[in-house]
Structure 1
């Protein structure tokens, strides 16, 4: 592969598969990724060809989390989304059930057709109890949708595995020891370091898989940044056989631009609803663009992007354990709006003013400018902290980092500011990173490897199965 084609950096990878007829064969591994987020609740269906290791998105259904049923007076409200939607275990489970049913029925599939289910959440949890309730609601929703518990846990032996999958499993050679896509999770003592750890894990795995569709080798070392409503992601080094997680991301992402529309349409809670996934910003007058640039600079004064110092217990919408992160040798990088969201209201006033000056196109353009600035500032921050290696590839996923003009603006700004050489070759953007990561996690949990097309290991290196065997035998 020639150098100029080594990375499809500006290409938007992982577009959903729109085929009406699903190409499901005996080597297909079907995974349902179920995510309860602050803005949306999703069920995304993927099919991995276990002969090639390539994954395709074959179905998707997305619901607004705020459309959840109002809790009964007798129900216990255990938490809220960033937008203020109240959550109970029962109503969240029902929303998840309905979302799964719709995703399956749209593709004429049933729960029996799915081999494995991976659950994740982007809903901000301020306490361990809240996170536990979200996890329980996810599990209950999957059970209500018809998935038995065995489809949510890894097989412990080849004997327990469906006959169809046995030829592709290496459970007798290596077992699942917690590493996903060749990266070990941080070994923080005691309580968790940040509640969105699994989101970052899935995003990294999914970005690695998506890169394969361009012929790019996005293995370790690498960086994954998930710009959903909240920020997540991780940085992996080049250790072997498994890379170490050396940093996590947390804080605000899409919630920053969601704030812009709060006083434009009180019935909408996110830019996802009002602007849509692809922003239209053509036809704006020069004076409006000048006002957008001025407003962007004003907003960025409220945005704090930094390595989170020891001693903090909260950053943005997240409870964090910076002390435990430091003890584990893990850096935490975050994005806050003011101090723990104190300037969100200020952004709402600014959004209303821009809308009155230039309409929704101006708000869309401002959203693209803000989020590209945040993306660039995060990359610059990790570089200044010495955690961005020259050979590392940066993958981005999530609506607040990939939609509209954000991709082009991010690359342009990195180039103009000389933060990264040849950013077109070093950045990968992908849709549905978490869902793709769920497919990878499901394979890892069941040792469904593809040695001729590995995801784990170092860039340019071979499959690490032999190294894993030696590592596991030393335990």
Structure 2
């Protein structure tokens, strides 16, 4: 059977945003090194995204051209979070990963420090002379009692950055334009507008009470901003109104309206995402029963297009079997956790936000039951069918999340949809997600309104760093409505009124 007809059956190629890698020469590098761009003579803004999730701990270095607004990748250093060292005697355990790995402030700080320094060293850059900003975030919320407790984790991440000699001023907004280094000062609009909490022209879902709605809200905020930046590489206008879904180990994301100059968050996602295929894989015997994940498998095997088509009925049956255990709904008001994530649905309701969750049993307790799906599909049909089942399972999660948002009137035909995270963009998931969402009838051409990107959170860190220091690109706006113009004038008017 020929491959081209099979690819046609999967549908048109989705819009997948991929940033090219860029090489910068450090101000302290020895002469004669073979790099493309001298950082000391450019308008590139270098940001490190330091993040620790349930599965991976990353330091991703980016460089944004402040003339065009496009962000390039410099380096990725990725470690498995399960490799964080054990707590030492006397250290207080303040949380744990979804699979139970215990964390202390010191152990997290040390892992972050080593990751950041390793990432910079790999591209011959230095903290002192080349790194302009660091943004910290975490998706590890399983061991917390409330959304507010995530603050302790952010402090642990800060400890690691400070141990790596990052100045505190490189982790918070500049007070005025004079505090920005001279070569980048012309690109800042701090003399016209200040950072008022809106990232990429969207206000976070925190009401007058100041109560957090979901523990990993910052990750949802960064992922949304990151997809907005990434979409520029895919020629998709991913501005407000938009819906972002981050399929990391835990689920995060948000839905915005088209209010100007800042959109409001009207929907938020929480619960489980990549943890679901991880649980399926743990039943195969191919990975560790407790700490194994899909990344352990996809590093050795790749999904096959032929399998997707020739065994479509088998794959569909197993995906449906998995989904019989998956609940996707508006989070009930009485819940304190949902899919291991601390939530406050009462605050969501008060602030006009629809909180949509993905769950397996009561607070993720039935995740081990998914092992049986992986065990059966692998033993009877092999690794290719297993991977194809994981693809369809994720696509069905995306479909159900979007349908729930649609049923609650959060999404219209004007809403752009963005997908990021390992359980939403790998394998043939983008093809299947476009097909599934297309079946909802929201768009005449779904492919023009859906974009996929990797590292949405890290890209969002670069965007947040720019917003904090008012590094805008009026000719290439990221804020405002789809198809609209830059909102700088409206922001100035709003802030002057306040």
Deviation at 1:442, TM superposition (A): 0.4
Q: Secondary structure at the match of 1:119?
A: strand
Choose from 73, 76, 83 the match for 2:89: 73
Choose from 249, 262, 283 the match for 1:242: 262
Deviation at 1:281, TM superposition (A): 2.9
Structure 1 residues 426 and 467, CA gap change in structure 2 (3 angstroms) = same
Deviations along 1:266-323, one digit per CA (max 9) or x if unpaired, are 2652112222398323564989654332221111111111112323222111111101
Any conservation in 2 of the 1:22–1:58 contact (CA below 8 Å)? no
Q: Secondary structure at the match of 1:366?
A: helix
The corresponding residue for 1:56 is 72
The corresponding residue for 1:139 is 158
Please list every run of 5 or more consecutive structure 1 residues that lacks an aligned counterpart in the other structure. 1-7
Query: After the TM superposition, which residues 389-400 of structure 1 pair with which residues of structure 2 at under 5 Å, given as runs?
Result: 389-400=412-423
TM (norm. structure 1) is 0.94
Any conservation in 2 of the 1:278–1:403 contact (CA below 8 Å)? no
Q: Does 1:275 align with 2:298?
A: yes
CA–CA separation in structure 2 for the residues paired with 1:421 and 1:290: 27
The corresponding residue for 1:82 is 98
When the two structures are aligned, how many residues end up with a matched partner?
468
Q: Does 1:308 align with 2:331?
A: yes
The corresponding residue for 1:440 is 463
Any conservation in 2 of the 1:206–1:440 contact (CA below 8 Å)? yes
TM (norm. structure 2) is 0.90
Query: After the TM superposition, which residues 205-224 of structure 1 pair with which residues of structure 2 at under 5 Å, given as runs?
Result: 205-224=225-244
Structure 1 residues 286 and 413, CA gap change in structure 2 (3 angstroms) = closer
Deviations along 1:206-231, one digit per CA (max 9) or x if unpaired, are 11111112333221111111111110
Deviations along 1:313-362, one digit per CA (max 9) or x if unpaired, are 22111111101111111110111012211321110122122222223222
Q: Does 1:11 align with 2:25?
A: no
Q: Secondary structure at the match of 2:51?
A: strand
More divergent stretch after superposition (447-456 vs 11-20) = 11-20
CA–CA separation in structure 2 for the residues paired with 1:22 and 1:58: 12
The corresponding residue for 1:5 is none
Please list every run of 5 or more consecutive structure 2 residues that lacks an aligned counterpart in the other structure. 1-11, 24-33
Q: Secondary structure at the match of 2:364?
A: coil
CA–CA separation in structure 1 for the residues paired with 2:301 and 2:231: 22
CA–CA separation in structure 1 for the residues paired with 2:84 and 2:458: 22
Q: Secondary structure at the match of 1:463?
A: coil
Q: Does 1:252 align with 2:272?
A: yes
CA–CA separation in structure 1 for the residues paired with 2:354 and 2:93: 33
Any conservation in 1 of the 2:19–2:233 contact (CA below 8 Å)? no
Structure 1 residues 293 and 9, CA gap change in structure 2 (3 angstroms) = closer
Structure 1 residues 168 and 283, CA gap change in structure 2 (3 angstroms) = closer
Structure 1 residues 172 and 310, CA gap change in structure 2 (3 angstroms) = same
Q: Does 1:127 align with 2:127?
A: no
Q: Does 1:47 align with 2:56?
A: no
